[in-house]
Structure 1
Amino acid sequence: MRIVQVAFPVLRGKRRFTIEKGRRWSIVEHLLLHAVSEKSASAEALENAACVPRRVIVEAFVRLMRAGWVEMISMREGTEFQATPIGRIQAKADDLPTFPLVQHRWLGFNVDQLTGTVFRGRELRLVHQNDLGPDVVRLNAANLHATGDMGDIFTALEGDDEVIVGVKASPERLLRRFALVTVRDSQKIDGLPSRAPQALQDHIREASQSSGGLVARPAASPGRMPVENSAGPTEGVFRQTDMIVDGAAHRDFLSRTIRNARERIIIHSTFINEHAFTFLPDLLLAAANGVRIDVFWGQDEDRNKQATSRAEAEKLKRAVAEKSRSDAIIIHMFSTGSHSKIVVSDDGRGGWFAAIGSCNWLGSPFESFEVSVKVRDPDFCGRIVRHLATMSMGREGIWHDLSTDITILGRRIEQAPRTSERKVPMKLLLAPDHAVLAIEASVKAKRRLFVTSHRIGVAGQPMVIMPAVAAARDNGITADLYFGKGTETLTATAAGALTLDLRSTGVRLRPVYVPRLHAKLLAWDDDALAITSQNWLSADPSDSSPLRELGLFINSPRIADQLIRSFQMRTNG
């Protein structure tokens, strides 16, 4: 028997959580209460009308009677259920009130840095890297899971009828440790919980096959897996009117969003400049309506010594303070390091949505060609909010009250019911997913490939241009690539020379000057479209910073065709 010890990296933490214990009311229970608040009914009648098993109906009414909201009455035809006076009042509420038991508990957890799986404190055997023997095969962490997702941690730690509603802020970072398991004959894994995902088991088994079991080796980065295998929801509700196209439409969208909100707005703009003050009246109005507003920015100060966004954020913060609204409008003074552009808001009617794409919401004159998409699907919107929570932790990954608050909001949105609209294949794109999608587009395109990018640089050649050349040569497709301007690594003159060089390959590389091009799009054929913050032709999508870019891939009938036509009408492309 061949026995090999394998160690995989984890993040170890322990926090004091606030937990509400007590079963929540289900939608079925709420609907049944509403039904008998209008007219008494028997369990048999409700079973036939709702197509719900009688056992479920009876169990629901037992709980509702315990709450004092339903009572049994004797009728000539038999026993029926009817709502009590207080039950009729509760039936009209959006959500039935609960009275859970609040507990405070210290809980330990471990986040697997290969797949992001969260294990409870005692489920793994942990050791410090200095205590690993020379014969142990070590797996390296994937950058995609360099920090733990608080929402996933909450879910893993919650017991039956429990919901984590808070966690005590802590300056302590998660500890880096290794989980040690034993692999027998390259198959049986001892020391790993049975619920561990198949991907983690595969990484461990593959590592155990290393020559002699002595060679430390990295795991394949999940960030480079095909997009369809990435974590997260894979389909969501979408309609064509969710597209936000052109600068003026973005300005109107943001202003309308702020004015309509009644609970919470989060804005993440890569840059903040003087154009942010255009929305100050709207922000002040929202604050007067009781809305909490958080403003984040992502400009990397290490790359721009002037730190212009920080200076403008300070000005905006002072302007808010002068209006005595610093309690409601929070201008955060740290950089998230992300190039993504995000708006999250409630719709004033109990629903939530996000918008992601190319627009610097607080740093744009709204004169460029921009494209963003409104994300109304709860699963996608909630996950975007959870990504914002991770961004809010900063580079140190510190758990603080703000990140906890945003995480809880994201989980709340994810649990909201979907509308009955049609669903289409969709996928959130993190930074590493973009390079994979570009290859996928070059392989799957049957007729055409279409790309727009604000800038063009040397990084765009291996990521998009070379795959486009190969697709045009091998598959005979047309490939139209558009850019707004060059970069320090590829000047306008060099871009012009590259344009001439590509003519013979079937790839058309073209500059767009009017209107100014700022949209970041990748599309193929008629139905496949990615809207993102990633400059396809200039920026290298980083594996080390997965949240540096954020986009959405959508596969919906003629969505790409309609956007390409819209672009051509505005630019004569």
Structure 2
Amino acid sequence: MVLLTLDHSPGTIAQLSSSLQIPRQVASSTVARLMQFGLVEVRMAPTPVLTTSAVGHAFLRSDRALPERTTDREVGISIVYEKVGQSILRNRDVKTIPLTRLPSSAQAVGFPASDLPETDDTMAGRVASYMARSLRAGEWLRGVQAISSVIEQRYLELNLDDVRNGVFPEGTTDLLVEALKTTIKTGVLPQVSIPPPDSPPSARIAFESDQLIVGAEEHLKAFERLVAAARSDVFLLSTFVAEQADAKGQEHRERIWRALEEAISRGVRCHLFYGTVLDDKAKNAIAMQELSKRLSAVRAAAGFVLVQRDSVRSHVKIAAADDGRGGAAVLFGSCNWLQSPFSSVEMSVELRDNHGAAIGLDVLRSIVSNLASASRSAEVLHFMASDLRRRGSFLAPAAQAVEGSRAELTVVYADDHEQLLRAAAHSAKHRFVCCTNKVGANMVPALFNPAEVAGRRIEDARVYFSRYTGPTKRRHVVKHRERLHDIVELIPSREPQLHAKFLAWDDDDVIISSMNWGSQSGLSGNRLDEIGLHLKGPGLAIALLERFKALLKD
């Protein structure tokens, strides 16, 4: 009745309470719940009133049930993940043996020397897979707490007589069953199998061209807006951290520090990370400690400033926060939020759609979970992403009825960049534009050669850059400019400096990344070292390039 009333007659809490003859506390709590799901909003003009949002208006006509109140149910669980068939088994259903207590008569399949160690993050994924088949009707998995988790390598003991009789623990995969049956026939132990790589996360999301953040000032405004809206958590991952005494760009960085201080004063937790591994003198760790001291002075209560002084070993740059209304926003791109002087051209993507923001939070969690000291932050990210997906699934049909522009979002891991760049060079029909901060030793095979492939087929092939790195000098690039004359435009920009990293082709495809296309190569051994976001939507490449060129003209 509350939603119907506000849809028919927008008003205040007092007016709603009087109209329905219910206590004001009931009206207020019901409205707060509906606002969490995006069904009710505040309309400011001509006077502030509560009313149904566009989603809420469509929802009333969708013949769907309202969201139910939820309660959390904690379940303690201990699982075994075996690596021959990738089975996930309940620990209580099987017998395991410590590596040092293997009987002399036993035959064992050992752990491969090249095997990557399991982490809290990977095991949380195993738990989620196991729990998916054991939830009660109407339940959903909100998250996995791994604060007290212990990960240990052990042998899983399996009796071959049980295998012959078809007796297997619940959760045994067909792959393990077949491997054991083959062992019985041949007497040869099975081999550890390599699971196929996970497909890059992707989703169709609501996305407008104004969510492409272009330029230093736009990044400052986007950051201030994101942090000002937060009511619970803000997350920042920056490759570098500036010292408090660093005068370069200090005026602009003060806007970053003040936004964080104001958030902490409201009781918002700030989770801060840095990513560089080039920190021999612990310069960034010391700068992070200085920042922690400054922010901690804002509020005496402990627990609001969660600073990591060890690197997460990633070049990715992310700013994320809840939006104070049950949603979240995530900024991905080129900006070093804790170090930038905000004088160069930056490029980022702002994800506001629930499914898109959840993907962004998951990527950040995967990066920071490598630090044992970041388990609290990783847990919060897990729960936030899970809640966003739940909320997004609930609202999906109604939201689609009023949706604006949509885009296909796909995460691009470090080692996927080169393949996508080459694919774009071969498939582009009339435009291929790449921007990199630096060009270096691998610029020819990594960037210039694919651009040449595009330039020999289409008229518009461009590469923008600002800096030379490593052994590469200006004269080296000049030779390639002469060689590629009338094929590819190699465009240096000293002023303004370009810190943006993007690829745009044709009218609809853009990749906003943290990777310098002309000086770095993504490594399969560390897929999270660089991250890009591929967005395909009507006119996105056109909109991005128009705003980018406007900054160059200025």
1:253 alignment partner, one of 192, 210, 222: 222
CA contact (8 A) 1:237 1:377 kept: yes
1:426 corresponds to which of 391, 406, 409: 409
* Structure-to-structure mapping, 1:342-361, within 5 angstroms: 342-361=318-337
Deviation of 1:214 after TM superposition, in Å, equals 10
CA, structure 1 residues 36+375, in 2 after alignment: closer, same or farther (shift >3 Å)?
closer
1:460 to partner: Cα distance: 3.5
Cα distance, 1:237 vs. partner? 1.0
Secondary structure, counterpart of 1:488 in structure 2 = coil
Q: 2:423 aligns with which of 434, 440, 451?
A: 440
Q: Secondary structure at the match of 2:33?
A: coil
Distance in 1 (CA, whole Å) between partners of 2:438 and 2:267 is 40
Inter-CA distance 93–571: structure 2 relative to 1 (3 Å threshold): closer
CA distance in 1, matches of 2:76, 2:467: 55
In 2: Cα distance, 1:38 partner to 1:364 partner:
46
Residue 148 of structure 1: which of 122, 140, 152 is its match?
A: 122
Letter in 2 for 1:233: S
Contact residue 151 and residue 411 of structure 1 kept, 8 A: no
TM-score by length of 1: 0.70
Of 267, 273, 283, the residue aligned with 2:260 is 283
- Shift in alpha-carbon separation, 1:213–1:164, aligned structure 2, 3 A: same
Which residue is 1:522 aligned to?
Answer: 503
The amino acid across from 2:239 in the alignment is T
CA gap 1:311/1:88 in 2 versus in 1, 3 angstroms: closer
Q: What corresponds to 1:491 in structure 2?
A: 473
How much does 1:414 deviate? 2.2
Report how far residue 312 of structure 1 moved: 1.2
Instruction: State the AA in 1 paired with 2:368.
Output: S
* 2:387 is equivalent to residue 412 of structure 1: yes
Q: Distance in 2 between matches of 1:149 and 1:134?
A: 23
Q: CA deviation at 1:344?
A: 0.8
- Answering whether residue 285 of structure 2 is matched by residue 310 of structure 1, we say yes
User: What residue number does 1:238 align with?
Assistant: 207
Report which stretch shifted further, 151-160 or 346-355: 151-160
SS at match of 2:345: coil
Do residues 463 (structure 1) and 438 (structure 2) align?
A: no
1:106 CA displacement: 2.7
- 1:549-568 to structure 2, matched below 5 A, reads 549-568=530-549
Q: Is the 8 A contact 1:283 1:329 kept in 2?
A: no
Q: How far does residue 340 in structure 1 lie from its aligned partner after superposition?
A: 0.8
What secondary structure is seen at the aligned counterpart in 1 of 2:466?
strand
Whether 2:169 is the aligned partner of 1:169: answer no
Aligned position for 2:48: none
Matching of residue 402 in structure 1 with residue 377 in structure 2: yes
**In the alignment, what sits opposite 1:50?**
none
> What residue ranges of structure 2 are gaps of 5+ in the alignment?
9-19, 35-66, 161-166
Q: Secondary structure of the equivalent of 1:416?
A: helix
- Whether the 8 Å CA contact 2:120–2:149 is kept in 1: the answer is no
Distance 1:83 1:491, change over 3 A: farther
Counterpart residue number, 2:17: none
Paired residue for 1:472, among 455, 478, 500?
Answer: 455
Asked if the contact 1:113/1:145 (under 8 Å) is kept, the reply is no
Instruction: Name the SS of the counterpart of 1:343 in structure 2.
Output: strand
Aligned partner of residue 435 in structure 2, secondary structure:
strand
* Aligned position for 1:339: 315
- Residues 93 and 517 of structure 1, relative CA distance in 2, 3 Å threshold: closer
Counterpart mapping for 1:373-384 below 5 A: 373-384=349-360
| Distance apart, 1:313 and its partner CA | 0.8
Confirm or deny: 8 A CA contact 2:440 2:468 kept in the other structure: yes
- Whether the aligned pair in 2 keeps the contact of 1:383 and 1:414 (CA below 8 Å) is no
Higher strand residue share? 1
> How far, CA to CA, are the matches of 1:432 and 1:179 in structure 2?
37
Query: Per the alignment, do residues 135 and 120 of structure 1 end up closer, same or farther by CA in structure 2, a change over 3 Å counting?
Result: closer
Report the secondary structure of 1:557's partner residue.
Answer: coil
Residues 149-228 of structure 1: pairs in structure 2 closer than 5 A: 150=124, 153-154=127-128, 156-158=130-132, 159-160=135-136, 161=139, 163=141, 167-170=145-148, 172-173=150-151, 175=153, 222=197
Could you say if the C-alpha distance between residues 143 and 231 of structure 1 is closer, same or farther in structure 2, counting changes exceeding 3 Å?
farther
Amino acid at match of 1:105: G
Cα 1:150–1:104 change in 2 (3 A) is closer
> For the Cα contact (< 8 Å) 1:341–1:357, is it kept in 2?
yes
Give 1:407 deviation, angstroms. Answer: 1.4
Instruction: Show the counterpart of 1:500.
Output: 482
Once the two structures are superposed, what CA deviation does each residue of 1:361-382 show, in whole Å capped at 9, x if it has no partner? 1111111111111101212211
Using the TM superposition, give the Cα deviation of residue 123 of structure 1 relative to its aligned residue in structure 2, in angstroms: 9.5
Q: Report the alpha carbon displacement of residue 554 of structure 1 after superposing the two structures with TM.
A: 0.8
The yes-or-no answer on 1:108 pairing with 2:83 is no
Q: In structure 2, do the counterparts of structure 1 residues 151 and 352 end up closer, same or farther at CA, with 3 Å as the change threshold?
A: farther
How many pairs were matched up?
476
Give per-residue Cα distances to partners, 1:512-569, cap 9 Å, x unaligned. Answer: 1110000000111111100111111111112111211122111112211222232223
Q: 1:282 to 1:123 in 2, by over 3 A?
A: same
User: Which of 265-274 and 103-112 deviates more?
Assistant: 103-112
Q: Following TM superposition, by how much is the alpha carbon of 1:262 offset from its aligned partner in structure 2, in angstroms?
A: 2.0
SS of the aligned residue for 2:377 comes to helix
Distance 2:303 2:119 in 1: 34
Matched with 1:186 is: none
| Corresponding residue for residue 526 of structure 2 | 545
Aligned partners of 1:87 and 1:38: how far apart in 2? 18
Shift of 1:151: 5.3
CA distance 1:217–1:264, shift in 2 (3 Å): closer
SS in 2 for 1:105: coil
The counterpart of 1:369, out of the listed 303, 323, 345, is 345
**CA distance in 2 between partners of 1:520 and 1:378 (Å):** 25
Alignment of 1:113-124 (within 5 A): none
- Structure 1, unaligned runs of 5 or more: 1-31, 40-81, 183-189, 224-229
TM superposition shift of 1:502: 3.2
* Distance change in 2, residues 1:319/1:136 (3 Å): closer
Give per-residue Cα distances to partners, 1:376-415, cap 9 Å, x unaligned.
12122112212222222236x6883332222112212222
Cα gap change, 1:353/1:238 in structure 2, threshold over 3 Å: closer, same or farther? same
8 A Cα contact 1:449 1:525, kept in partner: yes
Q: What is the one-letter code of the residue matched to 2:463?
A: L
For the residues of structure 2 that align with 1:314 and 1:516, how far apart are their CA atoms?
29
Aligned residues: CA RMSD: 4.5
Cα deviation code 1:249-272 (max 9, x no counterpart)? 111211222223222211111111
Q: CA deviation at 1:311?
A: 1.9
- Offset from partner CA, 1:133-164 (integer Å, 9 cap, x none): 79999897689999617356335425222545
Return the TM-score normalized by structure 2: 0.72
SS at match of 2:256: helix
- For 2:344, what is the secondary structure of its paired residue? coil
Residues in 1 aligned to 2:151 and 2:96: alpha-carbon distance in whole angstroms: 17
Letter in 2 for 1:281: R
- State the SS of the aligned residue for 1:496: helix
Does 2:511 align with 1:534?
no
Distance 1:455 1:246 in 2: 18
Of 162-171 and 307-316, more deviation after overlay is shown by: 162-171
- Give the whole-Å Cα distance in 1 for the aligned partners of 2:435 and 2:291: 32
Residue number among 266, 280, 287 corresponding to 2:235 in the alignment: 266
SS at 1:400 equivalent:
helix
Amino acid at match of 1:352: A
C-alpha contact 1:379 1:414 (8 A) present in aligned 2: yes
SS, match of residue 367 in structure 1:
coil
